[in-house]
Amino acid sequence: MNESSAKRSARLRELINDHIVLMPGAFNALSARLIERTGFEGMYLSGAVLANSVGGVPDVGLMTLSELRDHAAHVAGVTALPIIADADTGFGGPENAARTVRVLESVGVSGMHLEDQEFPKRCGHLEGKRLVPAEEMCAKIAAAAAAKTSADFLLIARTDARGVVGYDEAVKRARMYLDAGADGIFPEALHTREELSRFADDVDTLLLANMTEFGKTEYLTADEFAELGYNIVIFPVTLQRVVMKAAEGALETLKTERSQKSFVDRMQTRAELYDLLGYRMDVPPPSGTR
């Protein structure tokens, strides 16, 4: 695979200029293969999933740029699809945000978003968030935009203002972030269809919607988001939640029945796994391996 960031970014631009792009969240390289196999056109790397699945910690700004880089490299190495990464608060100030762009481009990521929360950040659908001054966020965006190697790399500014100081401030900040160099806006935790529609009218730009579960945003389909004027819809933690719930049930059954026999029919088979991996058992391993 190892498609370059520039090629993936150009492809993503083509897609969003034509229709809304659905991006499930990959939690590892194997799930990335499955997302591509299923026919999706892009995928998302969630900061929450990086913290939960890779670090085993809550999404409170504990992960580092190096950990995100390695996670993104593993995913990008097995798929040619465009990838948008959650870069949280940019891992520091403007210079850190600029370095984040360069690092993620170097491993094949197509775009990223920065958010205007104070560090340490919180999940966008939780209470207790705090914002940095808008001017401080603008400085990060300007530095990140200047660091782009490819003009097609998507730099998306996320604002959490709706849940902290209200809708009007979210619109004001979004316009400032576009002026600072952002390619698009991610308005986090808007509540209703009407609010999502109003934001699309008030901020005429590329828009990313977050259709997370158990959050503040009304459940809408991707087609409904498209009708409202959104270009990308992410499902950041959907696969992790499904897999972890299934794993919990399997472990409970295994502990009770002391065997996995009763749920073998709910497993991915060895043949299905090898097919997804592109592994042929009839081909001998390279010389020097066992």
**Inter-CA distances, 204 with 11, 199, 207, 232, 266, Å:** 22, 8, 8, 14, 46
Cα(137)–Cα(158) distance, rounded to whole angstroms? Answer: 10
User: pTM (2 decimals)?
Assistant: 0.94
190, 160 Cβ separation under 8 angstroms: no
Element holding 24 (H helix, E strand)? strand 21-24
Is 70 exceeded by the pLDDT of residue 2?
Answer: no
State the pLDDT at residue 127.
Answer: 72
- Residue 290: is its pLDDT beyond 50? no
Burial of 48 (0-12, 13-18, 19+ CB in 10 A): buried
Distance CA 53, CA 158 (A): 23
Instruction: Provide, rounded to the nearest whole percent, the portion of the chain with pLDDT above 90.
Output: 90
Domain ranges of the chain: 5-236
Q: What is the pLDDT of residues 19-71, one digit of tens each?
A: 999 999 999 999 999 999 999 999 999 999 999 999 999 999 999 999 999 99
Q: List the catalytic residues.
A: 44, 59, 86, 88, 113, 115, 123, 158, 188, 210
CA dihedral of residues 124, 130, 134, 137 (deg, nearest 10)? -60
Give the pLDDT confidence of 133-147 residue by residue, as tens digits.
999 999 999 999 999
In this structure, whether the domain defined by 5-236 belongs to CATH 3.40.50.720 is answered with no
Q: Give the side-chain half-sphere CA count within 13 A for 168.
A: 0
